[in-house]
């Protein structure tokens, strides 16, 4: 017996020791995590943001823990006190009267030995910690509630400022949910105390609850019904987020049936609460049961059954008439929630008056028609410009630059370091964290030009970047980018790999601003613990000057600083003033805008592109610029974080020239505008004028996923009625279940017109071919189909590029590239351009030749593909450089091929000069 007792004590001590160690490790992990975050936020200049968030989380945790633990402790202590006195007297009374009392033997044995006060306090602390931990995530809700600003407009049902729904209502709902959790835990602890003490006795022959337990339960039930009354009152506002299939928001039944029913339920729940408190004196079970049946039975009948019957038999037969005012609310507030009310509608005549002269007058548009699709160009970049296996082009960005050649739309991609691409035996800790630390440079090419081999021309290429008409780059290193998920240590005793040069390598040392000092033993131990990497502590390569770079992935970096912002999926690289920057669009969103249609995904129903984020690719600095100062959510965040946001005017002027309308927001707005362009309730109800995105047809042989909706695309063009070409984001629209084009939506990207949306609508009595119809006509063209079939039989694969709708003046031109790729190769070549206008379809080697053939010009216009004299000169120089390389390598065949390719370029350059200058 004694040995068993000692064994039990030993096991108990071991269990306590293990639990203490686990809890200690968790606490240490949390402390070290906070310390590392503090060091990182301090290193990037946003320590105020860190303290604001941390203090909000800490205060919320402490407040919720104190209130929760205190309330649970009081409930348990009251149960202990009255169970000890009243429960015992109940048992004595029952025994003296001969009434059987069922008290478990377990309760008889355990109850006297339990240290009740300390046990209740321990339970209260545990439940309080759990509840407080769950509520930490509501720190943003609390801060927005405390710092909220008015929206400036009121809802049409309750007359409350919309700011109430964005900031106050979520806080009230979070508070209600916390109180329900607290009430449940308080009742659970009290119930356990009463049960162990025998005041809740359940047996085979009798069933009983002591007066103390009954009184306590009645009090808790009264609090529950009081919370239910408040919950029903809050449910009135939740009617504005309903969806009955016709109206998003409150409909006729909601306002005329469910709203009065909710007021009734508020009264019934309040009455049930009072009755439950009265029952504290009577201590019977009839009143609680009757109260519960009254509240929940009425809720089932009046809040579920009756509204459904009313909707089906009264509203449904006259739905349009009855729901019209509420459809109007839905249309108006959805348009406001997504900024659709700013869209300007203009007519587009879709005439057939385009000719060669009008093309010449719109050279800025023609010279920037994008012929390179993202995926073929990315494959080509990978083959020509990745240089080494450990470099990777992760994405292709589309932007515009003012270059010597004019205002040009370009495609560019950052050459990032991908350590996973190192050979397996080279993926050592030193290589991954000390030696290979950064990518190098960008590749840039114009959207229309190509070489004679069908490869892209380059404005920027090679390592270090060589500018051939593109912007010069003095600092090409990318320590921060779309890759960079791991940490690196700079300024160590081992030099950093910079770039390869022939058989040798060039090395460098980081001199930027970012990084946390890691030279001391204490810092190294801290990061070794936090990053679970003992090599940081054991390595001899770290010096007193060493620094560690964290959060190198730019989206992770932005989210760590501002987790309350939603990010666009596509950050893009910008070359400005000799340096490289990432630009990231950020959104403020909410799920609480009344009467607004929800987006798919996270269920948000409000969005603004309120912030433009700029990340220095070398220094890692992050700047948040306000692009929508009127947004009430952002105004609230500016109150919460006064040092985080800067006015847009503070952004360097050169970077401002690269701001663009974000594709994600445009796509969301276009999706909603398909239905919400209809502002007449009866038209909206019948979906008479519902629009769709056109179907596309692109890929190998033009056959990948036919029917896939077109996506928005950027282009430089001169909008109808405007005097100059500008960078726009556009998307055609077609009617529902039809393929003819009915409109096109455009977002302007250039200052000072940035952010303005225009929809150009076509005459409804005129047929305008849509993209899918044009694709069908291309496939039906015998010359084109025969040529594609021939190529596919000669060891090549045809890749049909995406069809672009190009508005020029009051007409529509259609252009699509065609690529060839070897069956076993990964180097697509741009070989043909297909152009369509009116009833004509042509395919030629260049866009200039295709347009000339399309408009029956005997002399082809200067081809944007062959380019201007500057473009041809750059191409000639490229062939000359490659010829010299082949000569040095002893490749006489390659040398001859490059000379053969160089000759026609030189001839065209000579032919383009005046007679006296030849």
Report yes or no: 863 and 815 within 8 Å, Cβ to Cβ. no
915 pLDDT exceeds 50?
no
Q: How confident is the model at residue 858 (pLDDT cuts 50, 70, 90)?
A: very low
Percent of the chain with pLDDT over 90: 72
**How much is the pLDDT for 97?**
45
Q: What is the pLDDT of residue 900?
A: 66
For range 119-125, the mean pLDDT: 91
Cα separation of 755 and 165, whole Å?
A: 26
Q: Closest Cα to residue 79, out of 199, 185, 182? A: 199
Please compute the mean of the pLDDT values over residues 471-485 and round it to a whole number: 94
> DSSP per residue over 386-448, as a string?
--STTEEE---EEEEEEETTEEEEEEEEEEEE-GGGS-GGG--HHIIIII---EE-EEEEESS
Q: What is the dihedral of CA 448, 452, 453, 457, to 10 degrees?
A: -40
- Pick the range with the lowest mean pLDDT from 281-295, 365-379, 702-716: 702-716
Confidence of residue 862 (pLDDT cuts 50, 70, 90): very low
Query: What is the reported pLDDT for 13?
Result: 66
355: pLDDT confidence band, cut at 50, 70 and 90? confident
Per-residue confidence (pLDDT) for residue 868, from 0 to 100: 54
Arithmetic mean of pLDDT, 798-825: 92
Average pLDDT, integer, range 821-840: 90
Q: Residue 908 — pLDDT band, cuts 50, 70, 90?
A: low
Mean pLDDT on 169-175: 98
- Give residue 899's pLDDT: 66
Residue 45 structure tokens: 């200049």
DSSP structure string for 159-177: --BHHIIIIIHHHHHHHHH
The predicted structure's pLDDT at residue 914: 44
Three-class SS of residue 24?
helix
- Integer Cα distance of 108 and 832 in angstroms: 92
Place of tokens 């690289």: 573
> Peptide bond preceding 464: is omega within 30 degrees of 0, i.e. cis?
yes
pLDDT surpassing 90 at residue 68: yes
pLDDT over threshold 50, residue 292 = yes
Q: How far apart are CA 279 and CA 263, in angstroms?
A: 24
11-20, 236-245, 447-456, 859-868: segment of lowest average pLDDT? 859-868
pLDDT for res 883: 65
Q: Where does the pLDDT of residue 794 fall: very low under 50, low under 70, confident under 90, or very high at 90 and above?
A: confident
**Helix H or strand E encompassing 124:** helix 116-135
Q: Are 864 and 907 in contact (CB under 8 A)?
A: no
Mean pLDDT, rounded, for 167-181: 98
Question: 503: pLDDT confidence band, cut at 50, 70 and 90?
Answer: confident
Which of 553, 395, 421, 549 is CA-nearest to residue 485? 553
Rounded mean pLDDT of 845-872?
A: 67
Average pLDDT, the chain: 88
- Sorted by sequence, the CB contacts under 8 Å of residue 6 that are 6+ apart come out as none
**Tokens 């039975």 sit on residue:** 297
**Which residue, chain included where needed, has tokens 């587009």?**
348
**Residue 88 pLDDT > 50:** no
Neighbour-count burial for 41-79, b at 16+ CB within 10 Å, e otherwise: bebbebbebbebbeebbeebbeebbebbbebbbebbbbb
pLDDT of residue 823: 78
For residues 36-58, give the mean pLDDT.
97
Buried b (16+ CB within 10 A) or exposed e, 406-440: ebbbbbbbbbbbbbeebeeeeeeeebbbbbbbbbb
- The residue-averaged pLDDT of 364-376 equals 94
Q: Rounded to 5 degrees, what angle do the CA atoms 619, 621, 625 make?
A: 145
**Model pLDDT, residue 82:** 84
- The pLDDT value recorded for residue 707 is 67
At residue 38, does pLDDT exceed 50?
yes
- 318-322, 632-636, 871-875, 891-895: segment of lowest average pLDDT: 891-895
pLDDT score, position 560: 97
Q: Residue 538: is its pLDDT beyond 90?
A: yes
Tens of pLDDT, residues 744-778? 999 999 999 999 999 999 998 889 999 999 999 99
pLDDT over 50 at 917, yes or no = no
* pLDDT tens track for 726-739: 999 999 999 998 99
Report the C-alpha gap between 583 and 612 in whole angstroms: 7
264-273, 317-326, 396-405, 902-911: least confidently modelled range: 902-911
Instruction: Supply φ then ψ for residue 580, to 5 degrees.
Output: -115, 135
Tens of pLDDT, residues 606-629: 999 999 999 999 999 999 999 999
CA-atom Rg of the chain in angstroms: 36
pLDDT-derived band at 907, boundaries 50, 70, 90: low
Provide the angle, in degrees to the nearest 10, between the axes of the packed helices 892-911 and 869-888. Answer: 160
Q: What is the pLDDT of residue 104?
A: 45
Task: Please give the distance of CA 569 from its chain centroid, rounded to a whole number.
Answer: 6
What backbone torsions phi and psi does residue 9 show, to the nearest 5 degrees? -65, -40
Q: Are 212 and 87 in contact (CB under 8 A)?
A: yes
pTM, entire model = 0.88
Beta carbons within 8 Å of 708's beta carbon, 6+ residues apart: 695, 696
Higher pLDDT among residues 492 and 793, named by residue: 492
- Measured CA to CA, the distance from residue 162 to residue 144 in angstroms comes to 14
Least confident stretch, 9-13, 417-421, 470-474, 891-895? 891-895
pLDDT of residue 697: 76
Of residues 439, 436, 434, the one with CA closest to residue 417: 439
Contacts of 426 (CB under 8 A, 6+ apart): none
* Closest by Cα among 638, 551, 623 to 588: 638
For the segment 672-687, what is each residue's pLDDT rounded down to a tens digit? 999 999 999 999 999 9
Using an 8 Å Cβ cutoff, are 656 and 576 in contact?
A: no
Specify the range with the lowest mean pLDDT, choosing from 190-199, 558-567, 814-823: 190-199
CA distances from 250 to 45, 311, 599 (A): 46, 13, 18
Sort strands 488-490 and 547-549 into parallel, antiparallel or unpaired: antiparallel
3-class SS of residue 522: helix
So what's the pLDDT on residue 309? 96
The mean per-residue pLDDT over the stretch 473-502 comes to 93
**C-alpha to C-alpha distance for 678 and 680, rounded to whole angstroms:** 6
């Amino acid at each position: 017996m004694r040995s068993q007792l000692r064994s039990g004590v030993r096991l108990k001590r071991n269990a306590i020791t293990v639990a203490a160690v686990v809890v200690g490790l968790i606490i240490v992990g949390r402390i070290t995590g906070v310390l590392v975050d503090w060091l990182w936020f301090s290193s990037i200049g946003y320590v105020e943001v860190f303290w604001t968030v941390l203090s909000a989380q800490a205060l919320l945790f402490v407040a919720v823990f104190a209130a929760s633990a205190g309330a649970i402790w009081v409930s348990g202590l009251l149960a202990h006190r009255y169970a000890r006195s009243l429960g015992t007297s109940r048992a004595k009374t029952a025994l003296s009267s001969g009434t059987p009392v069922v008290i478990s033997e377990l309760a008889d044995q355990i109850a006297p030995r339990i240290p009740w006060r300390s046990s209740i306090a321990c339970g209260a602390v545990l439940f309080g910690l759990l509840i407080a931990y769950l509520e930490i995530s509501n720190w943003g809700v609390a801060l927005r509630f405390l710092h909220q600003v008015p929206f400036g407009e009121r809802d049409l049902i309750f007359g409350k400022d919309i700011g109430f729904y964005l900031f106050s209502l979520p806080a009230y709902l979070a508070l209600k949910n916390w109180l329900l959790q607290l009430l449940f835990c308080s009742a659970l602890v009290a119930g356990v105390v009463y049960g162990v003490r025998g005041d809740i006795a359940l047996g085979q022959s009798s069933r009983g609850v002591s007066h103390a337990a009954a009184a306590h339960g009645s009090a808790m039930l009264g609090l529950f019904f009081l919370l239910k009354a408040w919950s029903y009152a809050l449910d009135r506002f939740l009617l504005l987020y309903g969806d009955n299939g016709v109206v998003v928001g409150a409909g006729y039944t909601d306002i005329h049936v469910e709203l009065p029913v909710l007021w009734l339920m508020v009264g019934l729940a309040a009455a049930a609460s009072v009755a439950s408190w009265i029952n504290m004196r009577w201590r019977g079970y009839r009143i609680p049961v009757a109260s519960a049946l009254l509240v929940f039975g009425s809720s089932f009948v009046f809040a579920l059954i009756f509204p459904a019957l009313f909707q089906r038999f009264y509203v449904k037969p006259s739905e349009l008439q009855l729901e019209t005012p509420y459809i109007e609310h839905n249309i108006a507030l959805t348009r406001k929630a997504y900024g659709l009310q700013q869209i300007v509608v203009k007519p587009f005549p879709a005439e057939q008056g385009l000719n060669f002269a009008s093309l010449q007058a719109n050279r800025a548009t023609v010279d920037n028609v994008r012929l390179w699709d993202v995926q073929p160009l990315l494959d080509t970049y990978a083959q020509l410009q990745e240089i080494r296996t450990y470099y990777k082009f992760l994405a292709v960005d589309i932007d515009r630059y003012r270059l010597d050649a004019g205002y040009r739309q370009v495609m560019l991609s950052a050459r990032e370091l991908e350590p996973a691409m190192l050979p397996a035996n080279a993926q050592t800790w030193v290589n991954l964290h000390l030696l290979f630390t950064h990518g190098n440079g960008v590749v840039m090419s114009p959207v229309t030009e190509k070489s004679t081999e069908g490869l892209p021309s380059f404005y920027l290429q090679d390592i270090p970047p060589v500018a051939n008409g593109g912007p010069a780059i003095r600092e090409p290193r990318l320590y921060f980018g779309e890759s960079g998920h791991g940490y690196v240590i700079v300024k160590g005793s081992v030099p950093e790999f910079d770039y390869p040069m022939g058989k040798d390598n060039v090395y460098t040392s980081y001199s930027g601003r970012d990084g946390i000092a890691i030279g001391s033993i204490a810092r190294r131990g801290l990061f070794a613990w936090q990053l679970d990497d003992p090599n940081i502590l054991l390595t001899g390569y770290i010096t007193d000057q060493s620094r560690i770079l964290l959060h190198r992935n730019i989206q992770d970096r932005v989210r760590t600083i501002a987790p309350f912002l939603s990010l666009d999926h596509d950050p893009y690289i910008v070359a400005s003033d000799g340096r490289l920057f990432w630009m990231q669009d950020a959104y403020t969103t909410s799920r609480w805008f009344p009467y607004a249609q929800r987006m798919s995904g996270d269920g948000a129903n409000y969005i603004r592109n309120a912030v433009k984020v700029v990340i220095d690719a070398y220094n890692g600095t992050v700047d948040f610029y306000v692009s929508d100062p009127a947004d009430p959510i952002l105004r609230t965040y500016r109150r919460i974080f006064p040092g985080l946001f800067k006015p847009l005017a503070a952004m360097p002027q050169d970077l401002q020239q690269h701001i663009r309308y974000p594709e994600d927001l445009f796509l969301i707005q276009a999706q909603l505008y398909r239905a919400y362009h209809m502002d007449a309730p009866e038209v909206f109800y019948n979906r008479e004028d519902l629009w769709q995105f056109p179907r596309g047809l692109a890929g190998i042989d033009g056959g990948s996923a036919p029917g896939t909706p077109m996506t928005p695309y950027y282009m430089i063009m001169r909008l109808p009625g405007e005097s100059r070409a500008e960078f726009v984001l556009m998307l055609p629209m077609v009617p529902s279940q039809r393929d003819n084009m009915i409109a096109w939506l455009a977002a302007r990207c250039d200052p000072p017109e940035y952010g303005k949306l225009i929809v150009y609508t076509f005459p409804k009595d005129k047929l305008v071919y849509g993209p899918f119809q044009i694709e069908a006509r291309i496939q039906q063209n015998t010359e084109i189909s025969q040529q594609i079939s021939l190529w596919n039989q000669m060891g090549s694969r045809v890749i049909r590029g995406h069809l672009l709708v190009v508005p020029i003046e009051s007409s529509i031109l259609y252009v699509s590239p065609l690529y060839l790729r070897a069956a076993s190769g990964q180097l697509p070549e741009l070989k043909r351009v297909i152009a369509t206008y009116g009833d004509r379809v042509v395919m030629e080697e260049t866009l200039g030749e295709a347009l000339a053939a399309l408009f029956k010009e005997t002399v082809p216009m200067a081809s944007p593909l062959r380019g201007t004299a500057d473009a041809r000169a750059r191409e000639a120089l490229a062939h000359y450089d490659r010829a010299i390389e082949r000569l040095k390598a002893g490749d006489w065949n390659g040398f001859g091929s490059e000379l053969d390719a160089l000759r026609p370029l030189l001839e065209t350059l000579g032919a383009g000069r005046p007679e006296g200058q030849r």
